[in-house]
Structure 1
Amino acid sequence: MNETAREDRARSSDETGAVAGIGLVVAAFATTGLAVPVRDGVDHLAVLFGLLFAVGTLAVFAGRRYDLLERRYSLAGALGSLFVVLLAGYALTQGISGGADIPGLGVRIPTVFVSFLAGGTAIGIALAEYGSVPTSGLLQRTVVTARLAALALVAWIVSPLIGLLLEIPVVLVVGGLSEIQRQAVMQIGVAIGTAAIAVAYVYNTGRDRSYFDLEKPSLRAVAWIAGGVALIFLVNIAISVLFSSGGIEGAEHSATQAAQRNPELLYVMVPASILITGPFEELMYRNVIQKSMYDVFSPVGALLVSSVLFTAIHTAAYATAGPEALIASLAIVFGLSLVLGTVYLVTNNLVVPALIHGIYNAVIFASIAL
């Protein structure tokens, strides 16, 4: 148990009751978001059962807030919120979004999506309440998450810009670039940008190079790499089959679409997957973001929250089709991130998830040529 967790458990039950109050408000949003389509005549079972679980979660938080239920019931609130997320997500894939107009602004809010987000937030709050986390601890976790989310966003924006800047001197030296050459320069820029931002963050937070978990893979690590590659493909297949059974196909990554239009790009993308994408994305999301969260979250909590950030940052790359396909693809990304994060957590060696990630991407790209 880290120092933050010890301090949290030492706080009074009165302070942790406030956390249940916050959960009560969030659960109310989840409940209202699903009640809107029911009010409008939608009788889909996913919406109806989602509303039922949202009301149950609301009752748990209310019971905890007013000390009518024991703390162990917070787990029931977390489970109920999980079902809200799953059912609201499924409703979204069926084209059910709900809708509420904001008076005077002409903006319509997709209330089922609000329930989806509120349900996910309620899971974290319920688990925090179960762990006796006070409001100060919840705020600390929120601040750390927001800071690391900003870090991921900065890396996502800045790294491609560095690739574009690198094109300028290259063009001046060799003249115009082919699409393959431009892709190669872009990949190098992404590597430089991601590494620079990750290293700068680590050193700016008072750490040194020992913070980076780079070790030569042992036989045990090699076994984890082999098993991780197999597991990551199984997770991909399982989630894809689950959505396909409901008639939903995932969206394709924008890079995959580019390779399909121009297969020659595979000469860059396949090796770049192993040498750049895998290592540098894992550096950022596992060694920096997930590991930084260990300071305030439990290891499992850090794994889950960092996986949410990893999934969220991939939204733009998969926004190549409708919302149903996007949700299916992001579900796969979340599952893959859980595998990578778990392997990193167990091995404490960045090389292992980096190779798993790189090999997975390389195989996906190589399959385009088959």
Structure 2
Amino acid sequence: MTETARVDDATPFGHSAVPGIGAVLSAVTLAAMAVPIQRGLEDPVVWGAAAFAVIAVLAFLGSRYSVLERRLAALAALASSVGVVLLSGYAMNQGVAASVTVPGLETSISLVFAGFVTAGLTAGVSMATFYGLTPRALKERSLETATLSIVGFGGLLAAQVATLLIAQPVFIVTDSLSRFELVLISQIGMALGMGGLAIAYIAVMDYDWSFIDLKVPTARDVAWTVGGLFVLFGALFAISMLFQTTGVESADHGTTQQAQENPEILLVLIPAAILIIGPFEELLYRNVIQKALYGTFSRYGAVVVGSVIFSIVHTQAYWTAGPGQVVASLGTIFGLSIVLGTIYERTDNLVVPALVHGVYNAILFANLYFLYG
């Protein structure tokens, strides 16, 4: 959120209405955790998530009725909401779903997953409470996040459409394409699709071309690039060790699954990581989406929100796995995205995160080639 609320946001109404919204969301989260407990679920992780939800409800109510100092209450609500997210995510990863059938529909939903989602939303509301925003200001930020999330998912769609447009003439000439050729075409499609969408967004928003932060790297940028790579791999190692210690299972990326069957595709992906994946993903998700968020959120808030969008967009790369494994993998993506977003925020130079992202992926692809090639 913005570092300071605007004058028309910092009103008594703003200080009470938004905590009220948080209290309602926290109550929904509590209900999602309490129902399976009431039905006999004795998982201590779910009990812990329910306890955190209770704290969040009380914190929001304390702020709503001025029993607790607003910022202190907001921090308590934030910590509790994050606790619910972590514990419910862990429960899902361990196979706890607590599914219920939706009346009138032939489908069921996981109450643990529902609590995970509402707790994530509650964490956002707790930050709005911390800065004393009004419902109008909260709505403005929510709409901005939703709009840029659509842009993020649009990047995937644009890449797929561009790939199909490139592939169609090729299929006319030849009856079939090897996996190597398909991956090559998909990378070209990614560049055209994501690059085209980024340019279209800049044109629609009437920004000039200086909006794209392409600069010759300085010595400071080089230091950020080298340091960023070390931090990125350090973060990956720390997350992997945490998962191993706690017994969390993550999902394999779709590329890993393809590489096991056709390792030759990595000969395309290794250079593409530096020339296409890093530059064009960073152009869209950092230079366009994160930078656009600067106008509504603080710069650090934009890093976090942009990383949430970046993580959710990657769901399709893991969706063959179970929901708990997908959540764990997206958690890893979120952590790595925070690093990339911070690098971009500190340098304001697209070249730096593009290089860090590209080289990072290239090293991972090279490692896969040594394993399966």
Q: TM-score, normalised by structure 1?
A: 0.95
Shift of 1:180: 1.5
Relative to structure 2, which stretch is displaced further, 153-162 or 339-348? 153-162
Match of 2:301 in 1: 301
CA distance in 2, matches of 1:5, 1:197: 32
Match of 2:239 in 1: 239
Match of 1:115 in 2: 115
Aligned counterparts, 1:311-326, within 5 A: 311-326=311-326
Match of 2:58 in 1: 59
Shift of 1:297: 0.7
Relative to structure 2, which stretch is displaced further, 276-285 or 163-172? 163-172
Shift of 1:235: 1.0
CA distance in 1, matches of 2:57, 2:236: 33
Q: Mind listing any 5+ residue stretches in structure 2 that lack a counterpart?
A: none
1:103 and 1:169, CA in 2 relative to 1: closer, same or farther beyond 3 A?
Answer: closer
Q: How many residues align?
A: 369
Match of 1:11 in 2: 10
CA distance in 2, matches of 1:95, 1:330: 17
Cα pair 2:5 2:132 within 8 Å, conserved: no
CA distance in 2, matches of 1:90, 1:236: 18
CA distance in 2, matches of 1:203, 1:76: 42
Q: Specify the code of the residue in structure 2 equivalent to 1:306.
A: G
Shift of 1:369: 2.0
Match of 1:205 in 2: 205
Aligned counterparts, 1:262-301, within 5 A: 262-301=262-301
Cα pair 2:81 2:123 within 8 Å, conserved: yes
Cα pair 2:9 2:137 within 8 Å, conserved: no
Shift of 1:327: 2.1
Match of 2:229 in 1: 229
CA distance in 1, matches of 2:8, 2:59: 21
| 3-state SS of 2:101 partner | strand
Q: Specify the code of the residue in structure 2 equivalent to 1:312.
A: I
Aligned counterparts, 1:10-89, within 5 A: 11-72=10-71, 73-89=73-89
CA distance in 1, matches of 2:108, 2:196: 40
Match of 1:140 in 2: 140
CA distance in 2, matches of 1:261, 1:173: 26
Relative to structure 2, which stretch is displaced further, 120-129 or 315-324? 315-324
Q: Specify the code of the residue in structure 2 equivalent to 1:297.
A: F
Shift of 1:70: 1.7
Q: Mind listing any 5+ residue stretches in structure 1 that lack a counterpart?
A: none
Shift of 1:362: 0.7
Q: Specify the code of the residue in structure 2 equivalent to 1:292.
A: A
Q: Specify the code of the residue in structure 1 equivalent to 2:12.
A: S
Q: Specify the code of the residue in structure 2 equivalent to 1:63.
A: G
CA distance in 2, matches of 1:324, 1:168: 37
Cα pair 2:33 2:50 within 8 Å, conserved: yes
Q: Note the alpha carbon deviations across 1:205-244, whole angstroms, 9 max, x for none.
A: 1211100111111111111111111111111111112112
Cα pair 2:9 2:133 within 8 Å, conserved: no
CA distance in 2, matches of 1:281, 1:16: 38
Match of 2:341 in 1: 341
Shift of 1:172: 4.3
Cα pair 1:253 1:320 within 8 Å, conserved: no
Q: Specify the code of the residue in structure 1 equivalent to 2:157.
A: I
Q: Note the alpha carbon deviations across 1:79-130, whole angstroms, 9 max, x for none.
A: 1111111111111111112223322223322111111111111111011111
Relative to structure 2, which stretch is displaced further, 89-98 or 6-15? 6-15
| 3-state SS of 1:15 partner | helix
Shift of 1:6: 4.7
Identity within the alignment, %: 43
Shift of 1:175: 6.9
Aligned counterparts, 1:343-358, within 5 A: 343-358=343-358
Match of 1:129 in 2: 129
